Amino acid sequence: MRVQMLGLCRFSYLGMRGYQRDHSGIAERRAFLYDPARLARRWLIFETLALPGWLAQSDPDFTLVVMTGPDLPQPWLSRLRDLVAQVPQLRLELVPAMDRHLDACRAAIAPHLDPRADAVGHFRHDDDDAVALDYIASARRDFMQVRDLWRAEGRLSLDHSRGLMLRLAEAKATFAPRIAHNMGVALTVFLAPDRPETAIHFNHARLPLWMPGVAVTRPLMFIRSIHGDSDSGDPGPGIPLDIPPDDLDRHLVRRFGLNRAALESLAQRLEGQGRTGSPC
């Protein structure tokens, strides 16, 4: 059975809807998303936190579509072009501003669907979050254990729900380990390849309304960051976990290819760029 793993990462995509922050029109949204200082911060978080996991996946058989607008300012557009030229799993889609965000996401994903696939594992990934180095391998393996549930309806969510909440504020990186269901990161929506939806089409907090779901509660599979530029600063409901600091440091390296010093440096650099504290 061929399972395609196909993800979407929106990098400051200029379009209406699709975000928790409201703007009166496209001009106001453009001014917000394309603010030079904001873009510098987003890129810093993207390359420090999000990219390492994707560059070192133990299973390289996946596609991650990076979606942005054709007018994304320089040097950020050129940096994205250079990145996807170096990483075969990454694709860049430049989607003009659209009022209907779901249509825009579909336009970005559609060219990359594999017609040979029996099932497509759709996932969304925010540019300021991280997945474990074996996320793709685990999602594919775990799906095979429960594929009969998927066959019944052609839809199934697979939730790798143990992770770390990372708060970047006041020049510090602080962690809160927890089990948090359907966070949106390390969450895979398996669909038949001829279905028009993507992972974005389903509100991740309400997935049980549309499909059966399976939660896999170990090992650590995601890091969700919370910082001054977050679209939402609410960590959401969850079950707190106790991980000693030394064990946490080892998990960062082994599970995510990250280290505490780099994340502390990230928090300090964000502080120096003038946007810290709680998201607004």
DSSP SS3 for 101? helix
Give the model confidence (pLDDT) of 191-248 as tens digits.
999 998 999 999 988 999 999 999 999 999 999 999 988 766 566 778 999 999 999 9
Q: Find the domain containing 80 and state its range.
A: 3-272
The torsion angles phi and psi of 111, rounded to 5 degrees, stand at -65, -10
Tokens of 194: 């001829």
Closest CA to 179 of 147, 140, 218: 218
Nearest to 89 by CA among 119, 140, 37, 54: 54
Q: Is residue 277 part of a domain?
A: no
Query: Is the predicted pLDDT of residue 111 greater than 90, yes or no?
Result: yes
Q: Residue 278 falls within a domain, yes or no?
A: no
- Residue 278: the pLDDT is 33
Q: Is residue 108 part of a domain?
A: yes
The torsion angles phi and psi of 37, rounded to 5 degrees, stand at -70, -40
The pLDDT assigned to 235 comes to: 66
Please give the mean pLDDT across all residues of the chain. Answer: 92
Q: Which long-range contacts (CB under 8 A, 24 or more apart) does 74-78 make?
A: 76/11, 76/12, 76/39, 76/43
**What is the rounded distance in angstroms from the CA atom of residue 248 to the CA atom of residue 252?**
6
With contact defined as beta carbons under 8 Å apart, do 158 and 216 qualify?
yes
Domain CATH number, residue 131: 3.90.550
What is the number of structural domains in the chain?
Answer: 1
Mean pLDDT across 64-76: 97
